Structure 1
Amino acid sequence: MPTKIVYSISATAHGGGRDGQAKTEDGAIDLKMRPPKEMGGSGDGANPEQLFATGYAACFLGAMRHYAGQKKVEIPDDASVTAEVGIGPREDTGFGLSVSIKVSLPGMDRATAEDIVAGGHEVCPYSNALTKGVSVTPELA
């Protein structure tokens, strides 16, 4: 868990959750939410998995850049991270997520690239939350 929170943002969903509206308190994100066609929805809007994949990809790339900077290693300008997020039913109850991270570090030797990917995974708060846990406190307002 973090020892000090340096940034915090809240978002609120209204309507049907996956079939409603969601926006951040600062107004930077204000989206119509719709389930994907694969889950019986119209697909005419964003869905939580798209938002998670987008955030995770951006965060992971930033984490790799941070780690590389500490190691004095240059990350290529055309580096990219693709996060693929899947959702499906769990055996017990409810739904579960799967995540796959694909990293492209053009021109970097394999050993260095593997170190940067592994270091990014250790630094990335999304990776940390998924592998080591995150503090979640649901409460009725």
Structure 2
Amino acid sequence: MAILTSAATAKGGRNGHVRSSDDVIQLDLAMPGSGQSTEGKSNPEQLFAAGYASCFDGALNLMAKNAKKDISSETTAHVSLEKDPEDNGFKISAKLEVKISGVSQEEAEELVGKAHDFCPYSKATRGNIEVALSVTAE
């Protein structure tokens, strides 16, 4: 049973427009390197990065709460579009850069590992795309 279902519709592909069903998201899209201006426009990788960063940071804070750790965190997801030499097409990869204050480096790494096991985006990408983790305790 679904807890939440969100919907968005894209028209025109990478050089088109995307809109969420509730109209909260309404963005023009532009393919970098297409010759089209990208100013004020988004792309699928940016949208995926926003979703992954927010979901992962939420999972991290839940893991900290469960461990009775009082933290402050910031997660930046870098999502890259790359050439895929296997089929001459494209693939994506991700790097999660996580900064945590309130715990040691060892505790921060442990919490990030638990968040990576728990986060729905991490579960969805596991075994499908390369995801690198960078953890800094501040």
TM-score class, shorter: 0.7 to 0.9
Matches within 5 A, 1:22-37: 22-37=18-33
Where 1:105 maps in the other structure, the secondary structure is: strand
Q: Which whole-Å deviations, capped at 9, do the CAs of 1:15-37 have from their partners, x for residues lacking one?
A: 2x111110010111011111124
Deviation (angstroms), 1:42: 2.0
**Mapped contact 2:6–2:21 kept (Cα < 8 A):** yes
Mapped pair 1:83 → 2:83? no
- CA distance in 1: counterparts of 2:60 and 2:92, whole angstroms: 23
1:81 maps to a residue whose letter is T
Q: 1:109 aligns with which of 100, 104, 107?
A: 104
Cα distance in 2 for partners of 1:83, 1:103 equals: 9
Q: Give CA deviations for 1:60-108 in whole Å, capped at 9, x if unaligned.
A: 10010111122222122xx201111110221214210010011000242
Q: Which runs of 5+ in 2 are unaligned?
A: 129-138
TM-score after normalising by structure 2: 0.84
Q: How much does 1:40 deviate?
A: 4.2
The 5-angstrom pairing of residues 1-141 of structure 1 reads 4-15=1-12, 17-37=13-33, 40-44=35-39, 45-76=41-72, 79-91=73-85, 92-131=87-126
Aligned identity (percent) is 38
Structure 1 residues 50 and 21, CA, compared in 2 at 3 Å: closer, same or farther? same
| The structure with more strand, counted as a fraction of residues | 2
Structure 1 portions without partners, runs of 5+: 134-141
How many residues are aligned here?
126
Give the letter for the 1:90 counterpart.
D
What is the rounded CA distance, in whole Å, between the counterparts of 2:117 and 2:26 in structure 1? 31
**SS of equivalent to 1:65:** helix
Q: CA RMSD in A?
A: 1.5
How high is the TM-score relative to the length of structure 1? Answer: 0.83
